[in-house]
Amino acid sequence: MSKVRIFQDPHQQKRLGADNCPWGIEWRENGRRRSKVIGSKDDAADAAALKQAELLQGIMGLVPKKRWAEFVDEYLADMEGRGNRPGTLNLVATVLKTFAEKVHPQYVSQVDERMLDRFRTGRLKDKGPKGKISPETVKKELRQLRAALGVARRWKYLKDVPILPRVVGDQREKVHVTEPHFLAMLNHVDAATRPDLAKHNLAEGATIADWWRALLITLWVTGARIESVLRLRWEDVDWETGRVLSRAADLKQRKDTRPEIRGALAYLVKIRGDDPRLLPWNHGRRSLYPQLHAIQRAAKIDLTCPKQGLAGHECTATCHVYGFHALRYTHARFNYANPELQNQMGHAYAGTTEHYRQWAERRMSEYGAYLPAALEGGKEGAESGKTAGEDSGKPNLRVVRA
């Protein structure tokens, strides 16, 4: 790599004098000599250092002069090509546009922790249609930025992804499924009306209730995302270790993992038909949620809205029931001390697992990933588990090491 040097043109120096002659920088690029007039000697020295760093990045395969606006267009096109929904595309486009308006990055390589700090500070001062912007909204926007910058790094537009700034928000209890509620849901899975048995090659005699019981128990023992669970395939199950290959398919899970699924296999085998997936679902992904909510209504689950009292929040029916992610928090709550938690939950970054671990550690004192005793070995008897809970005041539980 050629060295960038600072110089004064001899002819200009002779004509203007050494004190008045501007300084410039000179380097070689693609075998050709390049030069640029800068001004003072100090400014030329700074420009030479920047140019030297730019040339070094070029040798490393980086593209330091990629304009931010061009990258945004490429990134959104890539997201659309991956099949992201229009709502997700609009959200990301809005976040990236707001970032550009706040900090004015000219090139992708200029984005650093200082820019993210300025963006965070500016956004926390903004006002939305219902009042001041929530810290949780700013956190969400920063996560979208991190995802975009991760792609920029993969495309060699950025050397490293900056660390996200900390945003202090409302430290509310994470919504997690309690043991009595989990048993109640299992006792009322017959309230679900899907999956349509005519569209699925389930085992002979398998019912809709069997499918939902297998799904809920799989989510409980793996702590996996609902999308990851629905992608699991029978060919990837290791019957000796009780683990299954979870294939990476999106930005949330960037690498293949092997979560343990032993505690749910007995229930999954009951519905196993000709479909290669453990839990075939041939309906739209969003149609899962009304079914989950119907099960909870039948179980008379009525939660206190976690955002009750927050300015601008309008409570809806979904505020009073669990989502699938609540089972993920439940798994982390009871398995926070397990060193395999990151692999089990499919986190791409150890820092994400640490967030779950710190939250759970504040509320739990011992390790315990378990299933209700009534579910041991896939035996029918969720009702018996309920009875046992009524007798003792607490569900009878069995520890299952993950």
pLDDT number for residue 374: 66
* pLDDT of 396 over the 60 cut: no
DSSP notation for 48-96: HHHHHHHHHHHHTT--TT-BHHHHHHHHHHHHHHTT--HHHHHHHHHHH
Whether pLDDT at 392 is above 50 = no
Quick: pLDDT tens for 172-199: 667 889 999 999 999 999 999 999 998 8
Same structural domain, 257 and 316:
yes
Are both 206 and 300 inside the same structural domain?
Answer: yes
* Residue 172 resides in a domain: no
* Confidence (pLDDT) at 230: 94
Phi, psi of 371 (to 5 degrees): -115, 155
For range 102-106, the mean pLDDT: 93
Say what the pLDDT of residue 343 is: 86
Q: Which of 102, 119, 154 is the endpoint of a domain?
A: 154
Residue-wise pLDDT for 314-369, tens only, equals 888 888 999 999 999 899 888 888 888 888 888 777 777 887 777 777 666 544 55
Rounded Cα–Cα distance for residues 214 and 2 (Å): 64
133-158 average pLDDT score = 90
Q: Quick one: 22 and 150 in the same domain?
A: no
> Is residue 230 one of the residues assigned to a domain?
yes
* Residue 387 pLDDT: 35
Q: Strand 32-39 vs strand 243-244: parallel, antiparallel, or unpaired? A: unpaired
pLDDT band of 118, cuts 50, 70, 90: very high
Three-state secondary-structure class, residue 203: coil
Strands (E), 154-216: none
In this predicted model, which residue has the larger pLDDT, 120 or 109? 120
The mean pLDDT of 7-31, rounded to a whole number, is 87
More confident site: 148 or 84: 148
Q: Indicate whether this model's pTM tops 0.75.
A: no
Shared domain check, 255 and 113? no
The pLDDT value recorded for residue 130 is 66
Question: Considering 105, 139, 154, which residue would you say is the last residue of a domain?
Answer: 154
173 inside domain? no
184 with 210, same domain: the answer is: yes
Do 312 and 254 lie in one domain? The reply is yes
Confidence of residue 158 (pLDDT cuts 50, 70, 90): confident
Phi, psi of 45 (to 5 degrees): -65, -40
Which candidate, 270, 115, 137, places its Cα nearest to that of 203? 270
- The mean pLDDT of the chain is 84
What is the mean pLDDT of the segment spanning 295-302? 96
Interacting residues of 33 by C-beta distance below 8 A, sequence separation 6+: 26, 27
User: Cα(126)–Cα(303) distance, rounded to whole angstroms?
Assistant: 32
Q: What is the CATH number of the domain that holds 391?
A: 1.10.443.10
What pLDDT sits at residue 253? 65
Q: Is residue 166 part of a domain?
A: no
Which tokens is 90 given?
Answer: 């609009």
Contact 23, 43 (CB under 8 A): yes
Asked whether residue 382 carries a pLDDT value surpassing 60, the answer given is no
Find, among 292, 332, 325, the residue nearest to 306 by Cα: 325
Residue 164 falls within a domain, yes or no?
no
**133 and 265 belong to one structural domain:** no
Say if residue 148's pLDDT is above 80.
yes
Lowest mean pLDDT among 130-144, 294-308, 344-358, 382-396: 382-396
Q: In terms of DSSP H, where are the helices of 306-368?
A: 324-335, 341-345, 350-361
Which domain, by its residues, includes 234?
179-399
pLDDT of residue 370: 61
Q: Are residues 131 and 242 in the same domain?
A: no
Contact, 27 vs 55, CB < 8 A?
Answer: yes
79 found inside a domain: yes
Which contacts of 264-267 are long-range, i.e. CB under 8 A and separated by 24 or more positions? 264/214, 264/217, 264/218, 264/220, 264/221, 264/222, 265/237, 265/239, 265/378, 266/377, 266/378, 267/210, 267/213, 267/214, 267/217, 267/218, 267/375, 267/378
Q: Is the pLDDT of residue 401 over 80?
A: no
In the predicted model, is pLDDT for residue 133 greater than 50?
A: yes
Domain count, the chain: 3
Closest CA to 135 of 312, 323, 348, 368: 312
Percent of the chain with pLDDT over 90: 47
- Has residue 390 got a pLDDT over 80? no
Q: What tokens were used for 161?
A: 């992804």
**Cβ atoms of residues 24 and 8 within 8 Å:** yes
pLDDT at residue 383, rounded to an integer: 43
Among 99, 121, 154, identify where a domain stops: 154
What is residue 367's predicted lDDT score, i.e. its pLDDT? Answer: 46
Q: 28 with 148, same domain? A: no
Position 30 in a domain: yes
User: Are residues 260 and 138 part of one domain?
Assistant: no
pLDDT at 57 over 70: no
Same-domain status, 388 and 338: yes
Is a pLDDT exceeding 70 seen at residue 394?
Answer: no
**Do residues 224 and 263 share a domain?**
yes
- Reported as a pLDDT band with limits 50, 70 and 90, residue 252 is low
Yes or no: say if 224 and 345 are a contact pair by the CB < 8 Å rule.
Answer: yes
Asked whether residue 378 is domain-assigned, the answer is: yes
Maximal CA-CA distance, the chain: 102
pLDDT at 335: 86
